[in-house]
A and B are shown apart, each in its own frame.
Chain A
Amino acid sequence: MRRYATLAALALGPVLVLAVFFVVPVVGMVGRGFVVDGGLDVGGVLEVLGRERTHRVLWFTVWSAAVATVVSVLLGLPAAYALHRLAFPGRRVVRALLLVPFVLPTVVVGVAFRLLLGEAGPLGGLGLDGTPVAIVAGLVFFNVAVVIRAVGAAWESLDARPGEAAAALGASPAQVFRTVTLPALRPAIVSAASVVFLFCATSYGVVLTLGGLRYSSVETEIYLLTTQLLDLRAAAALSVLQLLAVTALLVVAGRLRAVPDPTLARQLARPRRPRGADGVQVGLTLLVLALVAAPLVTLLVGSLRADDAWSLDNYRALDRVGQGSALLVPASDALVTSLRTAVDATWMSLLLGGLIAVVVSRRSATRGERRLRSTLDGFFMLPLGVSAVTLGFGFLLTLGRPPLALLDSPLVPIAQALVALPLVVRTLVPVLTGLDDRQRQAAASLGAGPLRTFATVDLPAVRRPLIAAAGFAFAVSLGEFGATSFLARSEHPTLPVVIFRLIGSPEPEAFGTALAASVVLAAATAAVVLAVDRLGGRSFGAL
């Protein structure tokens, strides 16, 4: 009984927060679509799913996400090998640089790709602007880092000896890879691929900025239905569908996520110097680096040009409110708002995520307890499955009016904290479950109470992952756009919101200012992530 009491005490806070700030808004938003004139209207929802446009949107979502996943894995595998198994100068730097795209604000990436592929851009000749190819490229740009990190981390911690045993039995390097390494990596690859698919299928900013109105995924369709067409029933139907699909995917991914047995001693291979045979992998890594760098360099160059000459005018415009501009505040104010919001969102998601991770990762004594813990685990992962748009609009619909009337409280950081929450939990949980439970038992047998045991065994192990989680939460918050675009008030917009408004503005100078603001935002995010990487905080790879 005491175990359940402790469990309840730890879980109560997060459950309440999630109930108020997640379940209520989402249910409110979805309910609005299902309930018409006071009665439940399921038929109307099903009618939405039968529409031809809905089918088109679903099909586009699935195939673009699938293609982007496959390309991400194909590009990510050789890079994971080169960056985690080979030793060459600059390895750390390249690893850190390839991590940056994952946390870049989607709006920034959208702007960068538009600039790169647009008619006047360096790759304008390819005519890819506004095509599905551009969208897939944007998705790959984001997610190749996930594959590299997740598979790389697994590859790095792979025991070298089975491969050596196979080589000694006469297996050539290619045969060793096929018969020993690949089977060992398969869980990591499948898990990374399912997460990438999830990110791609629920991507919002990239599709919205690159696809415009011609190509629409479920997520952007929900946005269009909600804000432009005011068809809440259709939006609710799609939201529910998305929630179900994502939940199913999360269950599959959870099954495949293998935590290495902590009681097993492994002998890790030290990274070795590249040989001639590694040329292909190194070449592909350079290609990935170039693909990642191209949009960013274009963005930087674009921001430094005004009136066909090199100049800093775009940056000077950052602290001005343009005449007749759509903005009420200069971009520099928005940056300050963004940073403040990110600090709040970070501590909130760390506090929540830390509690959740402890609750979820503890070894259960009975089957009932285990079931309870895994149910909670699934519950806390829900934010991953719900469209940020649904969440943001749901906030507006439910929390802004009695009985809750919370709109004056800081909703933006709370929404962002919820978006970052799964990332925080998934960074901490593998570390905590990966600890050998006998360590805790040893501490307890030496007379340490539960808190002391936690401080002796758990805390040192999660210190670095905690730094990593903080960094990623901060970066996610800086770039969050989906929910924020609904909740940010126009006198206090965040930087991504300002950038989005600037892109849409008819003023000629606005686009230049958007570029400069994008560079600033990208630099701020990259700085945070590189600092985290520097501090040794590792691996959201286990996500």
Chain B
Amino acid sequence: MVLGIEDLSVSYDGVPTVVGASLEVPDGQVLAVLGPSGCGKSTLLRAVAGLEPPSSGRILWDAADLARTPTHKRGFALMFQDGQLFGHLTVARNVGYALRLRRVRDADARVAELLALVGLEGYADRLPATLSGGERQRVALARCLAVRPRLLLLDEPLSALDAGLRQRLAADLRTILTAEGTTALMVTHDHEEAFTVADHLAVMRAGRVVQQGPIDEVWRAPADPATAVFLGYAQVLEGSAAARVRPGADRLAVRRSAFRLDEAGPLAGTVASVRTTPEQVRLVVDVDGVGEVDAVAPLDRVPAPGAGVRLALDATRTAILAPTT
């Protein structure tokens, strides 16, 4: 039970939006497609759902080509960014929609079970318009899971929500998907969301899949500087600057917390700016022979701008990129 995407291309009015994408989602796993807006990830998802015709390439389920299978016969449920609940139906009737289509008996019990799963007991008779954004997404998820889809397609499922809710719901989403053993393909532009929910990661840029693999591998070794920045690295040092920080490195991606204030540290520099946050002090330091980098200091030691400081590197917060070819 594997979703396979082989060399898939999709065009809008002759303009290619997805170019030669190849991906695989194994049974019971969650693949996140990560990319900036407009990179073609939503189009890829819509093509898998059967809502956009591919201009070339194949979409396979267990090696069977889906080209001639219409959306409603694919058995893939699609969850939209803003839920797309049916406004004229109650929560329970929304969740039970697919069950009624299939004339499933005991639909009410299953609906109740699903509402409990997403933490919305007692909401059965509400109308979607009376729900908050987070509640709507929970209902949308329950509706998608109702008939145990072969594959769940999630289109930026949490991006319409505010930050705190997003984190909580991402964790819930992971738990629910694991509990149901659902195979899922999620597209998102938020790397935190991807890390919380997914097992595998594919990074897309300008219509192409630039990197894919198990999520920690991709995280540890971004394929190129743009991917590194998109994965949350603060900057990529190149050439002599990279070698000076980590000997042997040609290109080094560093996180914002990779450098910390340390009197015994090997790197000397001048503080350019200081900003205190609740957890630590964030600095920008002009390091000799490297240039400006981000650094952190504990809250009890706040250097003044212009002061000379020494920095140490936390190598686990950096990634060495393959040299330019």
Residue ranges of A at the interface with B (Cβ–Cβ < 8 Å):
159, 161-162, 164-173, 175-176, 179-180, 183-184
Contact = CB atoms under 8 A, between A and B. Distances in A.
Given A161-B80, A180-B86, A183-B88, A168 B101 contact: no
Contacts, number: 65
A105 B80 CA distance: 49
B51 A172 contact: no
Given A175-B101, A179-B97, A168 B86 contact: no
Given A165-B80, A168-B72, A168-B144, 20 more contacts: A159-B84, A161-B84, A164-B49, A164-B84, A165-B78, A165-B84, A165-B140, A166-B72, A166-B97, A168-B74, A169-B98, A169-B101, A169-B143, A171-B98, A172-B72, A173-B72, A176-B72, A180-B86, A183-B86, A184-B88
Contacts of B74: 168
Contacts of B51: 164, 167
Nearest to B155: A161
A175 to B, nearest CB: 6
Contacts of B102: 170
B233 interface: no
A183 B93 CA distance: 14
B78 A168 contact: yes
Nearest to A163: B84
Contacts of B153: 168
A45 to B, nearest CB: 45
A168 B97 contact: no
Contacts of A173: 70, 72
Instruction: Report the 9 A-B pairs with minimum CB-CB distance, sorted nearest first.
Output: A168-B78, A169-B98, A167-B71, A165-B84, A161-B84, A167-B72, A183-B88, A162-B84, A170-B72
Given A164-B49, A166-B97, A183-B88, A171 B72 contact: yes
A165 B82 CA distance: 11
Contacts of A169: 72, 77, 97-98, 101, 143-144, 146-147
Contacts of A183: 86, 88
A186 to B, nearest CB: 9
Greatest chain B CB density within 10 A among A169, A172, A183 is at A169
Nearest to B49: A168
Contacts of A167: 50-51, 70-72
Contacts of B49: 164, 168
Nearest to A165: B84
Nearest to B147: A170
30 contacts: A161-B84, A162-B84, A164-B49, A164-B78, A165-B78, A165-B79, A165-B84, A165-B140, A167-B50, A167-B51, A167-B70, A167-B71, A168-B49, A168-B71, A168-B72, A168-B153, A169-B77, A169-B98, A169-B101, A169-B144, A170-B73, A170-B101, A170-B102, A171-B97, A171-B101, A172-B72, A179-B86, A180-B86, A183-B88, A184-B88
Interface of B: 49-51, 70-80, 84, 86, 88, 97-98, 101-102, 140, 143-144, 146-147, 153
A161 B70 CA distance: 16
B77 to A, nearest CB: 5
A532 B52 CA distance: 35
- The B contact surface, by secondary structure, is mixed
Greatest chain B CB density within 10 A among A159, A170, A184 is at A170
A168 B76 contact: yes
Contacts of A161: 80, 84
Contacts of A184: 88
Nearest to B12: A270
A167 B84 CA distance: 12
Contacts of B73: 170
A161 B71 CA distance: 13
Nearest to A166: B97
Contacts of B76: 168
Nearest to A269: B51
A175 B86 CA distance: 14
Nearest to B93: A179
A108 B76 CA distance: 56
A162 B86 contact: yes
Greatest chain B CB density within 10 A among A159, A168, A171 is at A168
B312 to A, nearest CB: 48
Greatest chain A CB density within 10 A among B76, B84, B86, B101 is at B84
A168 B74 CA distance: 8
A170 B88 contact: no
A77 B77 CA distance: 30
A175 B97 CA distance: 11
B88 A168 contact: no
Nearest to A265: B82
A179 B85 CA distance: 12
Nearest to A264: B82
Contacts of B144: 168-169
A258 B162 CA distance: 30
A166 B88 CA distance: 14
B101 A164 contact: no
Contacts of A162: 84, 86
A274 B74 CA distance: 22
A176 B84 CA distance: 14
Contacts of B72: 166-173, 175-176
Nearest to B79: A165
